[in-house]
Amino acid sequence: MTDPGIAVPCGRLDCRAFCRYGAAMASSLTRRAHNATNSLHSLIYFAPETEHYLTGVGLRGNRMCYFAGRAAPMGAVGAGLVTATFYNFNPALVAQSIPAAWELATPAAVIDARYVAVDAALTRLLGEEAVGSADMLALAALVRQAAAACTPEGRPLYAGNADLSWPDAPHLVMWHALTLLREHRGDGHIAALACAGLSGIEAIVTHTKTGKGFLAEFAKASRGWSEQEWDAAEAGLRARGLLDADNALTEAGQALRAQIETDTDRMAAAPWQHLGDERTEEVVRIAKALSRAVAAAGAFPQVFAAR
């Protein structure tokens, strides 16, 4: 899952270089639930409404919208905390936007603008009928129940979002609940990466080597790593026996990445165990249908091309 967000700064990088994570991964119910619902949260990082409304409250466009928009629930935090919780971005890239963002807009204003953007984007992509449908109502109730089993210990991005008030509209309840579930999983994923002894850049490098994630050139551009920094990370991973002479994952490297994903699933399982298999399957069914709808409406233009 490296980069729990699989999130791309709202901006103008070549999205064709981005490919779907997890298509060939094992389909445990926990992971299936994540894969089915993730697009319904992450569409906000691609939607033009995000930059429109966040710049409307004072932010600069492009990466600042992403860093400030996602970090705002934690408050007016510094670049160090954003780097730590987002994990695989170059600290220098983060520092271009944070903490300057908070001199342009308060976290509260950014959060409010983000919900306006979510409302506009979901309504545009799904249409008013789907936004108000019985399936949306059911999904909102189910994922809110699942999110009730999340706990904040060691989960700063989840905890920041959990402190926010619940919105009223069902499609916004759905989005907020999926945000909680996604950041809860992402915080756990970072714990797994740290336990595995992978730095931020090593995490994204090994992620690209799995063949199931970002293309290397996109990862470098979107995460702000230079060729020299990338080459140095590969050299360190070769020295540890995780990459071979051709910079492909060794058996040990593949095993480490598989263990990280298994650990991530384990730490993300509680909400779905709380919901139970039958109701989680219902989440998967509804979320898949809605995810297909937003994709067909152009939520992710060119970004999920096969590798």
Residue 106 confidence (pLDDT) above 60: yes
User: In percent, how much of the chain has pLDDT > 90?
Assistant: 87
Spatial contact of 29 and 211, defined as CB atoms under 8 Å apart: no
User: What pLDDT is attached to residue 302?
Assistant: 61
Cα-based distances in Å from 60 to 51, 181, 221: 8, 28, 19
User: Would you say 288 and 33 are in contact if contact means Cβ atoms under 8 Å apart?
Assistant: no
Residue 146 CA from chain centroid, whole number: 18
Residue 14 clears pLDDT 90, i.e. is over it: no
Residue 9 pLDDT: 37
> Span 252-263, mean pLDDT?
97
Report the SS3 class of residue 247: coil
Q: pLDDT class for 230, splitting at 50, 70, 90?
A: very high
271-282: average pLDDT: 97
Q: Residue 22: its pLDDT value, please?
A: 36
For position 12, what pLDDT does the model report?
Answer: 35
Cα angle 13-69-32, degrees, rounded to a multiple of 5: 75
Question: What is the pLDDT at residue 301?
Answer: 63
Domain ranges of the chain: 15-43+132-296
- Average pLDDT of the chain is 91
Report pLDDT for 212: 87
pLDDT at 21 over 90: no
Lowest mean pLDDT among 18-22, 80-84, 154-158, 231-235: 18-22
More confident of the two residues 92 and 307: 92
Asked whether residue 292 carries a pLDDT value surpassing 70, the answer given is yes
Split at pLDDT 50, 70, 90, the class of 25 is: very low
pLDDT score, position 5? 40
Task: Judge residue 181's burial from the number of C-beta atoms within 10 Å of its C-beta, 0-12 exposed, 13-18 middle, 19 or more buried.
Answer: buried
**DSSP type of residue 58:** T
Enumerate the H helices of 127-250 as residue ranges: 128-131, 134-147, 156-162, 170-195, 200-209, 216-223, 227-239
Q: Is the pLDDT of residue 269 over 60?
A: yes
pLDDT, position 116: 98
Output the CA angle 71-75-79, nearest 5 degrees.
55
From 131-135, 202-206, 298-302, the region with the lowest mean pLDDT: 298-302
d(CA 31, CA 271): 12
Per-residue HEC secondary structure of 92-126 comes to: HHHHCCCCHHHHHCCHHHHHHHHHHHHHHHHHHHH
Q: How far apart are the first and last CA of the chain?
A: 16
- Cα–chain center distance at 234: 24
